[in-house]
Amino acid sequence: MKPSFICLFFLLLLCFLHCLASGAVRQRDALNKFYFNNGARRSSSSSSSSSSWASSLLSVFGLKSKVYNNSMLKEGDKVVRLPGQPEGVNFDQYAGYVTVDRANGRALFYYFVEAAKNSGSNPIVLWLNGGPGCSSLGYGAMEELGPFRVMSDGKTLYRNPYAWNEVANVLFLESPAGVVFSYSNTTSDYARSGDRRTATDALVFLVNWFERFPEYKGRDFFITGESYAGHYVPQLAHAILTHKYRLINLKGIAIGNAVINKETDSKGAFDYFWTHALIADETIRAIHKFCNFSSDAPWTAPECDRAIDEANLAVEELDVYNIYAPLCFSSGVTVTPKLPSSENFDPCTSNYVESYLNNLEVQKALHANITKLNYTWSGCSQVIPSWSDQPPTMLPIIHELLSNGIKVLKYSGDFDGVVPVTSTRCSLKKLKLKVKAPWRAWMLNSEVGGYTVVYDHNLTFTTVRGAGHKVPSYQPARALEMIKSFLQGLHLPAI
Ligand SMILES: *[C@@H]1O[C@H](CO)[C@@H](O)[C@H](O)[C@H]1NC(C)=O
Ligand SMILES: *[C@@H]1O[C@H](CO)[C@@H](O)[C@H](O)[C@H]1NC(C)=O
Ligand SMILES: *[C@@H]1O[C@H](CO)[C@@H](O)[C@H](O)[C@H]1NC(C)=O
Ligand SMILES: *[C@@H]1O[C@H](CO)[C@@H](O)[C@H](O)[C@H]1NC(C)=O
Ligand SMILES: *[C@@H]1O[C@H](CO)[C@@H](O)[C@H](O)[C@H]1NC(C)=O
Ligand SMILES: *[C@@H]1O[C@H](CO)[C@@H](O)[C@H](O)[C@H]1NC(C)=O
């Protein structure tokens, strides 16, 4: 068995458990399906190395031909009021489609929330969820850092006091086409999904979005995201640099619990399981002795397969995306809403969001699904059948960004077992950067919010204490403090 199949096996098991619990396609399935499990394709695809990936982006001419007339479209995108929205909303919201390929009829859906204060000077933060194939609207906006969360009745919204639009204008992009409101009229486009198309479509989206919102041209711009967006975010930043598209004033990127280097990402998970007392000493010893997670490793020992099986079995009853979180034992929504809490994340939240976003009145208010898509809304794409290209590492692009003066924040919720802090530390070590400001605790409200270290070229690594994979869901106040410091170029508070 090749090492990639180990991961396939491990993650399919997680997927299997999850799929039993819910018919819908959700975030945890997608990372498994397309990231840890594409070994078969990887070895045959030399074009997925990061250098050839980078050179095969859209030509400058190709980009120009895709700048469409967006004038007068902004006002039509204004969201007057979302169903169930609370009173006293003090910011503007916009949502709608931006065409990225007229010939094929491909359009990406966005949801834009202006900053509650100083929208005219605060930066723009683009947020991307991963998967590949998961929704930035359903996860990012409705469960993590957006201004509203959905109550357990699936109908009523409440304010998230720690929303990132406290400090930025936040743009949520459903990417690529096929996720979930974003679509193509040429169905065969879905089978051509991959890292490269995702990056070029996102660039075309941005160029057209700035035509629609010209007052934002040149504003400080940050790209953020989580999980598989560890690929999307650096790749889009690279595409922006390559095109020298000056209207996008790229300042930095921030990626959370993000995959950036497959070998260390895979290995680090098992180290996390052992250091967090989830698997036996014998199991980790066998993994260390017999497993080789390198994508070039020709084979693996049966001892390795056995140890991986043992590890899978040991974690199978947990939510590996937050090993200390309670599980959701109910399906659907409640008739009357439970008292919500921004601080204690409800593990059944995805049910409420799914119900809310499948409501046709909500879709109408968001100007979504105007072509009457023939599938229902779910957290991750049901129409993307495969993922065509995926370099095994983002490290060269991260180097490139740093040497171009783009600030990079890598952050980790330290309760996540899927892309855990151990994986990230191993991956960052491979960048071979010197420490500039040594490892220290950072504080919020007299408590340790996490730890932080700054490397040369201003690469910052920050942990968020007590957060799972979706950091702002579990530690919203700490997540907001972290992003605020990053955007404003400040040090996280010390004692
Ligand atoms: C762009 O669209 C607007 C509104 O439909 C129209 O008034 C304008 O003439 C168009 N501009 C170009 C260059 O086609
Ligand atoms: C897709 O097709 C529908 C129906 O013909 C059309 O209304 C829509 O504008 C098309 N989308 C794009 C992006 O061209
Ligand atoms: C893993 O396999 C690769 C490729 O065969 C090899 O270069 C590397 O040394 C191996 N690593 C270990 C720790 O054995
Ligand atoms: C949805 O529409 C597409 C494009 O017309 C078609 O290929 C597909 O089979 C349809 N799916 C279902 C479930 O009807
Ligand atoms: C889009 O709208 C149609 C009804 O017009 C509905 O059946 C379908 O579930 C919706 N799809 C999504 C992705 O929301
Ligand atoms: C790092 O950040 C500081 C403060 O923002 C800035 O002065 C310095 O030029 C940056 N260094 C690099 C290598 O970008």
Query: Looking at 416, 427, 473, 485, which residue is catalytic?
Result: 416
Please name which ligand lies nearest the alpha carbon of 489. Answer: 6
User: Is residue 302 reached through a cis peptide bond, with omega within 30 degrees of 0 on the bond before it?
Assistant: no
Query: Looking at 231, 367, 457, 469, which residue is catalytic?
Result: 469
User: CB within 6 Å of ligand 6 — which residues?
Assistant: 405, 457-458, 489
| 416 belongs to the catalytic site | yes
| 227 belongs to the catalytic site | yes
Other beta carbons less than 10 A from residue 484's beta carbon = 15
Give 106's strand partners: 101, 184
78 touches 212 (CB < 8 A): no
Distance CA 168, CA 125 (A): 6
pLDDT < 50 regions, the chain = 1-23, 38-48
* Burial of residue 38 (number of CB atoms within 10 Å: 0-12, 13-18, 19+): buried
Question: How many separate helices (H) and strands (E) can be counted in the chain?
Answer: 17, 13
Radius of gyration in angstroms for the set of CA atoms belonging to the chain, rounded to a whole number: 21
CA 459 to centroid of ligand 6, rounded, Å: 10
CA angle centred on 59, ends 55 and 60, rounded to 5°: 125
Q: Are strands 148-150 and 124-128 parallel, antiparallel or unpaired?
A: unpaired
pLDDT of residue 296: 79
- Mutating to test ligand 4, I would choose from 104, 183, 187, 372 the residue with most ligand atoms within 8 A of its C-beta, which is 187
CA 345 to centroid of ligand 6, rounded, Å: 36
pLDDT of residue 402: 97
Please name which ligand lies nearest the alpha carbon of 2. Answer: 3
pLDDT of residue 342: 86
User: CB within 6 Å of ligand 5 — which residues?
Assistant: 180, 363, 369, 372-373, 375-377
Nearest residue CA, atom 12 of ligand 6? 457
State CA 463 to chain mean position distance: 16
228 touches 31 (CB < 8 A): yes
68 touches 208 (CB < 8 A): yes
CA 296 to centroid of ligand 3, rounded, Å: 7
At residue 439, the 3 state secondary structure works out as strand
Q: How many residues does the chain have?
A: 495
Both tokens assigned to 422? 């151990």
pTM higher than the cut 0.75: yes
Structural domains in the chain plus CATH codes = 3-488 (3.40.50.1820)
Query: What letter represents residue 159's amino acid?
Result: R
Question: Residue 278: CB partners within 8 Å, gap ≥ 6?
Answer: 314, 315, 318, 323, 417
Distance CA 377, CA 381 (A): 9
Ligand 2 atom with the smallest distance to the CA of 106 is 13
Which among 74, 73, 3, 4 is positioned nearest to 36, based on CA atoms?
A: 4
Please name which ligand lies nearest the alpha carbon of 292. Answer: 3
Query: Looking at 119, 182, 227, 266, which residue is catalytic?
Result: 227
CA 235 to centroid of ligand 2, rounded, Å: 28
pLDDT of residue 43: 36
In this predicted model, what pLDDT tens digit does every residue of 362-381 receive, in sequence order? 999 999 999 999 999 999 99
* Burial of residue 120 (number of CB atoms within 10 Å: 0-12, 13-18, 19+): exposed
99 lines ligand 2 (CB under 6 A): yes
DSSP state of 39: H
Q: Where are the beta strands (DSSP E) in 140-275?
A: 148-150, 157-159, 169-173, 183-184, 220-226, 249-256
Nearest residue CA, atom 10 of ligand 4? 374
Both tokens assigned to 300? 């693996």
Nearest residue CA, atom 3 of ligand 3? 297
Q: Where are the beta strands (DSSP E) in 151-288?
A: 157-159, 169-173, 183-184, 220-226, 249-256
User: CB within 6 Å of ligand 3 — which residues?
Assistant: 292, 294, 296-298
Ligand 5 atom with the smallest distance to the CA of 358 is 14
